[in-house]
Structure 1
């Protein structure tokens, strides 16, 4: 009898242990650990296969020596190049994040074989061959199932790379309905309303998906700008791409991060991007004050707005700062006001713009804020 009880107790302990291990595994997959609570310094960087390892070692060492903790590396979603660079950056003490263009896929050789994957404007122009604003605006439709799957396959390829902390989504939105005000003179246009050439996505995939849900055709709307279901449908299409990318990243033990517009209401208005509704671990809103003819104080305002909108979501906000237009003194102020208004860190666009004077400021502020 005692032997039977002993065996029974042993089985219970084994089952409990297995259950505990499974719970730990699920927890890892569902919620990879974020970093510590130090105020974090990031930089966006570019990469190509032509450069030597020695040149990357020099660049990454420069960042680390001057207070940068983490870098977003743009390899054009090439996991092979990322696999080469991630160990180099990690050896220099940097955290590595895989930066990828998401809905905007310029020169994507796979996507270019499928003209029906691309977004279409209200005026009937496809991003496949009639691109808005600039030639590298080649936007895929989040409503086309094959285009979505292609994007998710790119996310997975990057998430599989060792020594990578996150997949970082950029251009995770629609084309600009409204450009930042400081950029309008460059294109010689006035945007007082939603113009047909810059209002997307009227592709067959998107229109048919909307019609299936609501029984109406956006192409036949008299004023689609005021149709709340049509607007919300497109916000949700981007959200769905993000949420599945989040699942993919977490299944590989990585977090998901994203570069987004300054704060959710503004992002909603300008590019149909409502990032406070996403499953996302970290956002780096591009609070580029010079793009909006604003002073450095606006960096603090937009940071505070984003932090407020993220309350209760678990998503961290790290302020994105546009370095080229800032003096060293303004850069210092931008970093400080980001911290004062609730950001968990700051990210600099881009690494190449951090000249010796500005790196001195970064190093100084890293020491002062931690």
Structure 2
């Protein structure tokens, strides 16, 4: 009520409002709308895109993708407002429901803005606020021109141009693209000077894209590298078959895929060891489909398992069985964690057998550990851990868990014992999988700071490399800072020793978001340290459509 009252006063004083989804009753008169009804989608894809009515939203894209599941409609008061944009379904048919209703005081969007179709969504949002405050178009155009350059590598337009010219002495495509980027920038400046700000923004965007393509075309490729993507979805890239998704990787010079096919509590293939996702009955054996596509396109497949963590798709009855039998992890304060307790012998057996099952049944190139650790330093402190630690070490714990925590009298013995269970699984899988298939490669995605993480999360990956249990290791070096990335790689190649270290580049990790030029910068760092390869997180819709083709222009090109 108080917020609605404040916004009413703001609008009456000349302010403009952009309201999403629900319009409070007090604001309806201000926005000159009348309430409609709540509408749920009648099927998936019923609300799939937004299309402005002709000329109603200056500068807006002709169509903006948004997969909404419901809307809250409003209607303009007769003679006081109008419908500016409408909802369309995934077949391109109008739904008859308004998406944007406008009046002189503000706009109402009948859902909330989601993160899909990000580039066009950003322009759509600018068109909405530009409708309310036209002076923002000039500010946006000036900002776009000022930003021209390669943000991911910290280069301005002129700095990027100079570097491209140096790199591309014999690459005419790169030089041609650079010349076109300069022409487009000049045209954008001219349009802005004539106050055609929306068109200036369009040309600046084209100049930015062409500069990026010139940068990518100028990058040299290095034959013989291991070039891979992690793919977090067991079903590959949404909207594509495995054949289409892996064909795109191969065309652009990638050599391997690491698909996430099993967790601690679920498998996406017909497993006899783990519970099988119901999706397998509908969509098929995902390992078999992935391997068939990879063979066709000449890619390696290293099947990725999320160890210990049960995953959100683990069946409820399986989780309940683990809970009843004391096989789940617990924090030092007694809070349950839906991870398998590594000290429980049945859990170690389950982890090992699930990975060996993949090795036996599929023609894969390798097995890839992930989450091969504890969640953090505060796990596991279940009753079973206490009992098994005492039995194994002969140490009697008087004050549990205080005796094994920081400054406790037996903390180091506890850390060594705790760590040993993780190492035991790595060793068993490596030895037994190679006995089944001697050419199988064993690898692991690991935390980046081994000296800290061997105790913090029980992940002793330097030892695993020294003992030869890993054929390559992939530290997850997710950072936007190229200096930090380089510092991490420099240490990690030493810790890995003779074992290849393929750094993980976090293109779409929550902590990095690099963009194509940032990914290129970090690939260049891996080459300076002669790692022999890299792995990028994550192969999804945006990466398939945007990143992979740009990398394939130069730095991963098959030339």
Question: Within 5 A, what are the aligned runs for 1:46-85?
Answer: 46-48=232-234, 55-76=241-262, 77-80=267-270, 81=285, 82-85=287-290
Distance 1:123 1:99, change over 3 A: same
Alignment partner, residue 327 of structure 2 = 117
Alignment partner, residue 250 of structure 1 = 434
After TM superposition, give the deviation of residue 73 of structure 1 in Å: 1.2
> Does the 8 Å contact 2:307/2:371 carry over to 1?
yes
Unmatched segments (≥5 aa) in structure 2: 1-222, 271-284
> Does the 8 Å contact 1:297/1:337 carry over to 2?
no
> Does the 8 Å contact 1:303/1:342 carry over to 2?
no
Alignment partner, residue 323 of structure 1 = 507
Q: Which has the higher strand share?
A: 2
After TM superposition, give the deviation of residue 247 of structure 1 in Å: 1.7
Partner Cα separation in structure 2 for residue 355 and residue 341 of structure 1: 27
Alignment partner, residue 314 of structure 2 = 108
Alignment partner, residue 132 of structure 1 = none
1:169 to 362, 365, 369: 369
Partner Cα separation in structure 2 for residue 51 and residue 337 of structure 1: 28
> Does the 8 Å contact 1:79/1:161 carry over to 2?
no
Report SS of the residue matched to 1:90: helix
Q: Deviations over 1:17-50 (max 9, x none)?
A: xxxxxxxxxxxxxxxxxxxx92210001144569
Partner Cα separation in structure 1 for residue 295 and residue 517 of structure 2: 30
Matched, 1:221 2:394: no
Distance 1:99 1:342, change over 3 A: same
Q: Deviations over 1:113-162 (max 9, x none)?
A: 121111111001121xxxxxxxxxx2111110111111112111111233
Structure 1 ranges of 4+ moved more than 6 A:
49-54
CA-atom RMSD in angstroms: 2.5
After TM superposition, give the deviation of residue 51 of structure 1 in Å: 8.9
Q: Which has the higher helix share?
A: 1
Unmatched segments (≥5 aa) in structure 1: 1-36, 128-137, 178-198
Larger Rg: 2
Matched, 1:348 2:536: yes
Distance 1:334 1:269, change over 3 A: farther
TM-score, normalization: structure 1? 0.73
Report SS of the residue matched to 2:293: helix
Alignment partner, residue 352 of structure 2 = 152
Distance 1:357 1:79, change over 3 A: closer
TM-score, normalization: structure 2? 0.50
> Does the 8 Å contact 2:236/2:242 carry over to 1?
no
